[in-house]
A and B are shown apart, each in its own frame.
Chain A
Amino acid sequence: MKTIRIGTGAGFSGDRVEPAVDLAQHGDIDYLVFECLAERTIALAQQAKMRDPDAGFDPLLERRMRAVLPVCHEKSIRVISNMGAANPVAAARHTVAIARELGLTGLRVAAVLGDDVLDILSPDEFHITETAATLRDFKKQVVSANAYLGAGGIVDALAAGADVILTGRAADPAMFLAPQIFEFDWKMDDWTLLGRGTLVGHLLECGGQITGGYFADPGLKDVPDLARLGFPIAEVSADGNAVITKLEGSGGCVTAATCKEQLLYEVHDPKKYIQPDVVADFSGVRIEEIGPDRVAISGGDGSPRTGSLKVSIGYIDSCIGEGQISYAGPGAVARGQLALDILDQRLALAGIDYEEKRGELIGVNSIVTNADMAGVPPNEVRLRFVVRTDDLASAARIGEEVESLYLNGPAGGGGVTKTAREIVAIVSGLLPEHHVQTRFEMMEA
């Protein structure tokens, strides 16, 4: 049975660069997929594009492309990534320019388009899930609307001979599903195969999170050499079953346990992992260690797609002001608590309008807010005071109030930091898939 080897080049926008180069050089892979687009990132990228029409793609695109394109070109490894963010065409142009500079003549780069649906959403028909109201009734400044595209546009670009494919918003697993559909000629209504291909994509999409990253717990779950963590490779068969592995000699480990944790990561009902191309079913997945750092994955399934695409709406939400200060030694918790009480009073006395606030002591109750779970008092605490405001000027006053604790607050406060920022937040909704036209633009170096 034909098999292909797909490697993960990045599991998030800021991920390490070298593991992708190692995979390209030594992993005998056919595809290298970089997942670099978080939910909010595309809204921020859209704002960058509004300021500069040539901007709005991933800031690390240049570094990653320079690092992997020469070896990928030499070994005929095809690259797929959502580093196009809000501007896949500009990202593709930039990639072509890099390829020319590196002498990679003939490299074909495709930009997949169609995810930007800001102009086609109907204000009266599009409903926002979180508010259960229409887009028109959503009284916020919307800055972006992007549909999660399926694998189709990427498959078309592969069929047209693209060596590098850059998308905007695409469902993360779809970037891994696409080469499987293309190589194995899977039908777009073979739900079992699409479900299995989605499973492979889901397992690979977070990079090192399946090879021992985000897993170590010394004494209980030891992982070797995390500083040189190897990224995953899936050896996929035409029936959609796969073996997850990594480069020999790289750090980390691939075990049944690392695969199980990743299988359920960001999953709700395991029978219904809703994707643009299929509703994948992970409920019967089997995970079996078949060798050192080799785990066989089988039993994935699927049912027909819903016919709707999830749309992420980016909007200007609010401003957040924050200040922090530390207290140490005997009485640290009491002094921190006194400082929090003072800050609460200062909000009222200084007349700072706010929507929501949160005061806490890091080391005591910033994460563990349920008092029943409280532990022993620490020898040092860090006060964190964070407030949501309408405007940036009010947000900036929060840090100033925390800073004022130096001369006006409890004894021994030190190390003030302060920030104020505008928040672009995300809500979502569903769009019938026939409203979205996916296409690609091809360029050549």
Chain B
Amino acid sequence: MLLRDIAHSRTGDKGNISNVSVIAFDPKDWDVLVRQVTAERVRAHFGAMITGRVERYELPQISALNFVMHDALAGGVTRSLALDPHGKCLSSLILTLDIDMSAA
């Protein structure tokens, strides 16, 4: 199944840094998020779309992860050549990560 089936997401931008939240619809899926949606997997998932490091912050009381992705916005919204300079679409793309519920 896809991450989209168990979580929702929103992207924000600050300069050349994008942050993407991943929030479980149901708190019971929190452990799956923590184990399977790692910074390393997110970094690999976006591949060349992000040239910097990815950090993950955990907010267990609201079943949410927050990914901070550096050098992810082609220079930042005010000078980027990208069609989506804010990186708003990244939230929908992170939700295409594969999730293995049997491994939970």
A425 engages B82 (CB within 8 Å): no
A25 at the interface (CB under 8 A from B): no
A261 engages B8 (CB within 8 Å): yes
With A366-B83, A423-B79 known as contacts, the answer to whether A270 contacts B25 (CB < 8 A) is no
Complex interface residues of chain A between 331 and 359 (CB less than 8 A to chain B): 356-358
- Bound Cα distance from A367 to B57, whole angstroms: 25
Shortest distance from the beta carbon of B93 to any chain A beta carbon, whole Å: 7
B-contact bits for A352-381, CB 8 A (1 contact / 0 none)? 000011101010001111101100000000
CB-CB nearest in chain A for B10:
A261
A437 at the interface (CB under 8 A from B): no
CB-contact partner of A270 in B14, B59, B76, under 8 A: B59
B93 engages A268 (CB within 8 Å): no
Shortest distance from the beta carbon of A168 to any chain B beta carbon, whole Å: 18
Shortest distance from the beta carbon of A353 to any chain B beta carbon, whole Å: 16
Complex interface residues of chain B between 1 and 37 (CB less than 8 A to chain A): 4, 8-10, 12-17, 19, 21, 23, 25
With A360-B83, A370-B48 known as contacts, the answer to whether A264 contacts B64 (CB < 8 A) is yes
**Total B residues in contact with A, Cβ cutoff 8 Å:** 38
Shortest distance from the beta carbon of B18 to any chain A beta carbon, whole Å: 10
Most central of A262, A265, A320, A428 by chain B CB within 10 Å: A265
CB-CB nearest in chain A for B21:
A264
Complex interface residues of chain B between 22 and 67 (CB less than 8 A to chain A): 23, 25, 45-49, 55, 57, 59, 61-62, 64, 66
Total of A-B residue pairs, C-beta within 8 Å: 110
A221 at the interface (CB under 8 A from B): yes
Residues of A within 8 A of B84 (CB): 366-367
With A257-B23, A257-B25, A261-B8 known as contacts, the answer to whether A369 contacts B66 (CB < 8 A) is no
With A217-B8, A261-B10 known as contacts, the answer to whether A39 contacts B77 (CB < 8 A) is yes
A423 engages B59 (CB within 8 Å): no
B68 at the interface (CB under 8 A from A): yes
B15 engages A428 (CB within 8 Å): yes
B81 engages A320 (CB within 8 Å): yes
B47 engages A372 (CB within 8 Å): yes
With A285-B62, A423-B78, A424-B78 known as contacts, the answer to whether A260 contacts B49 (CB < 8 A) is no
Q: Which residues of A contact B (CB under 8 A)?
A: 39-40, 130, 214-215, 217, 220-221, 256-257, 260-270, 282-287, 299, 317-318, 320, 356-358, 360, 362, 366-370, 372-373, 384, 386-388, 423-426, 428
Give the 7 A-B CB pairs with smallest separation, nearest first: A266-B12, A264-B21, A370-B47, A425-B79, A261-B10, A425-B78, A358-B81
Q: Which residues of B contact A (CB under 8 A)?
A: 4, 8-10, 12-17, 19, 21, 23, 25, 45-49, 55, 57, 59, 61-62, 64, 66, 68, 76-79, 81-84, 89, 93, 96
12 contacts between A and B (CB under 8 A): A130-B15, A260-B64, A261-B21, A264-B64, A265-B12, A268-B57, A269-B57, A358-B81, A369-B48, A373-B96, A425-B79, A426-B78
